[in-house]
Structure 1
């Protein structure tokens, strides 16, 4: 299945990488935390790791470590603005439950 980005997410990442003046894309992963057990982790990548799995959408690379892929395979990464708030939204078909605060999820 893989990881996909919406055009809005790709535009946001591209603009941010251009402002930084460096970077090859973003790394999407998970960490154990929160009420439901797992949380998304997103960071800009300057140097890919040998084990990274790379997906590219709209000219933007998304790097995933193999351990995280099992939990987030099929996820669409979106960037949304809602009033004064903006941020990434993860549309993950593997999610079975999400905590009330929206910070963590369970598969």
Structure 2
């Protein structure tokens, strides 16, 4: 067990990136539709978008050695170390409203974000 995994198994330690129950349930449903139980949700940050940085959600079967792993309700969220620099303290949520349904990142590090919620500035 790695140092990080040991820290994550301690109840008083919060994960560096939160993963809401709504998001975990939606990911579980999407994985079931794909028929591949090995899929994990990967959240990453890259340069671009209308505000400077943008979030990207992808399914990935492979977990890298330096990935941050957050598990909830049997679903795994992966975040690479570079993206974690911009995501520390964030929470991934799944929101359904009149406009539609989408994964959203509630990022306390972002000083501004675009109207679509996929791009942000620090």
TM-score after normalising by structure 2: 0.79
| Aligned position for 1:51 | 66
Q: Give me the whole-angstrom Cα distance separating, in 2, the residues matched to 1:18 and 1:101.
A: 27
Give the corresponding residue for 2:97: 82
CA RMSD of aligned residues (A): 1.6
Q: In the comparison of the two structures, how many residue pairs are matched?
A: 107
Equivalent residue runs for 1:14-53 within 5 Å? 14-22=28-36, 23-53=38-68
Listed as ranges, the gaps of 5+ residues in structure 2 are 1-14
More strand by proportion, 1 or 2? 1
Higher relative contact order (CA 8 A, sep 6+): 1
Distance apart, 1:83 and its partner CA? 1.9
TM-score for the superposition, normalised by structure 1: 0.89
Structure 1 runs of 4+ aligned residues shifted over 6 Å read: none
Structure of larger gyration radius: 2
* TM alignment of 1:64-75, pairs within 5 A: 64-75=79-90
